[in-house]
Structure 1
Amino acid sequence: MTRSLAAILLLAIGAMSDSAQAGSNTCTIGGWSIVTEAGGVPVRAGPSPEAPIVGRLPPAVAYEGGLYSGRGPEFAIVEAEGGWFRIDAVYVPTVKDDDVEDVPLAVTGWIPGRAIYFQLQTAKGFSRPDPASEVVYRFGELTHPRDWLAVTDCRGKWAEIAYGTPQEERRMWVRGICAAQETSCDGVKGDR
């Protein structure tokens, strides 16, 4: 009886750690796409290039306002798996008469990290999603994604970014993510 109870307890602890790990890839950040190819970004049913396409993010459009010279679909990033990100609450900023109107897009699914962009309101990149871990990168405020290779993972308010060159890729974890394309985000702070 004692061995059975111990075995059940070990199974329960294992299941809890598995669910804690699965939950560790939930994210509470947002972003946008500035992919300009005619077909836009395929949104897939699962985190794989072989998963069925359930919708598309339209291509970004040229617009001379704000911090960037274009506007792309914006979304909440809610989960990460293997370099893929599940997005929700998608809307498309549409330029009308020199103003931008946000039009909801009814699609939820997975896109690759190379299609995701956001601003960083932080000065440090870390080796892990922990401000006590090693600082592996330092940069100025309101950092933009122009030199990124891809977003590769996320946990809560943290995102992992690949940077450098494909031959010499490096990675860092950052927080202080701002998903606003035209301005900075009040109250969003990373690490100084």
Structure 2
Amino acid sequence: MRRLVGGLALFALLGGVAHAAQPPVDTAGATPCSIDVYSLDDDPKGLNIRAAPSGSAPVIATLENSRSQDGEDFAVEMHVIGAKDGWLLIDRARFQDYGEPDKAGVVFEKKGWVSGKLTGSDVGDVVLRAGPSATAKVAATLYSPNSSSPAGKVDRFEVARIFDCKGEWAEVEGEFRAKTVRGWATRLCSNQITVCR
């Protein structure tokens, strides 16, 4: 019993809140993928991780949404391994070192589901496509001839929602030049202080 209480205390200290008698995580039917995202949730109670891809599924953990480092707030970052019905299956979450190493580290290292509505990322692709393929029709062009980006003149495009993922592709939506655009992209990046190209 002492070992269990100590483990729960350590989990809470690392930025997650464990929930008693956790049910098994339902991964059936998840489309496999491998992308990195960060939390967009602004709920002061934290980001809920659920046992199944549903808002009514039991909460198995609640993650701290952000931490302040060097005077700025940085969101918790998550590795996604699957998707189903607008939900993302993660297998770990962590805070990166953005200037204060003592505030960085893994805060969740299990499987669980988070709503794609509460996740975002940056995109390094020049275009969004109609499907998860480099040969799919172009859905939106993220290009500006006036951009100072060294990598293909890509304007910064921040994802406001992730609908699905497959392999290294993700179906994303966000604002680009005051217009909402949606499509499939690769080269997602969860780094919050540099543009990943």
Over the matched positions of the two proteins, sequence identity in percent amounts to 23
Q: Letter of the aligned partner of 2:106 in structure 1?
A: P
Deviation string 1:14-60 (CA, Å, 9 cap, x unpaired) is: xxxxxxxx57x111111111323211110000100111000012122
Alpha-carbon distance between aligned partners in 2 of 1:123 and 1:134, rounded to the nearest angstrom: 13
CA RMSD of aligned residues (A): 2.6
1:34 and 1:70 in contact (8 A); partners too = no
Give the Å deviation of 1:116.
Answer: 1.1
- What SS class does the counterpart of residue 135 from structure 2 fall into? coil
- Cα distance change of structure 1 residues 54 and 160 upon mapping to structure 2, 3 Å threshold: same
After superposition, where does 1:65-80 map in structure 2 within 5 Å?
70-80=73-83
Bigger Rg, structure 1 or 2: 1
Task: Give the alignment partner of residue 143 of structure 1, picking from 156, 174, 181.
Answer: 156
TM-score, structure 1 length as denominator?
A: 0.70
Structure 2: 5+ residue runs without aligned partners? 1-28, 144-153
1:120 and 1:142 in contact (8 A); partners too = no
Deviation string 1:57-83 (CA, Å, 9 cap, x unpaired) is: 212235567xxx531111110000000
Residue of structure 2 in register with 1:154 after alignment: 165
Residue of structure 2 in register with 1:37 after alignment: 43
Task: Give the alignment partner of residue 105 of structure 2, picking from 103, 106, 115.
Answer: 103
Q: Does 1:48 align with 2:61?
A: no
Alpha-carbon distance between aligned partners in 2 of 1:57 and 1:126, rounded to the nearest angstrom: 32
Alpha-carbon distance between aligned partners in 2 of 1:170 and 1:119, rounded to the nearest angstrom: 14
Instruction: Indicate the structure with greater helix content.
Output: 1
After superposition, where does 1:8-19 map in structure 2 within 5 Å?
none
Structure 1: 5+ residue runs without aligned partners? 1-21
Residue of structure 2 in register with 1:7 after alignment: none
Residue of structure 2 in register with 1:126 after alignment: 129
1:119 and 1:142 in contact (8 A); partners too = no
- What SS class does the counterpart of residue 165 from structure 2 fall into? strand
TM-score, structure 2 length as denominator?
A: 0.68
Q: Letter of the aligned partner of 1:108 in structure 2?
A: K
- Cα distance change of structure 1 residues 54 and 36 upon mapping to structure 2, 3 Å threshold: same
Q: How many residues align?
A: 154
Alpha-carbon distance between aligned partners in 2 of 1:153 and 1:54, rounded to the nearest angstrom: 22
Residue of structure 1 in register with 2:150 after alignment: none
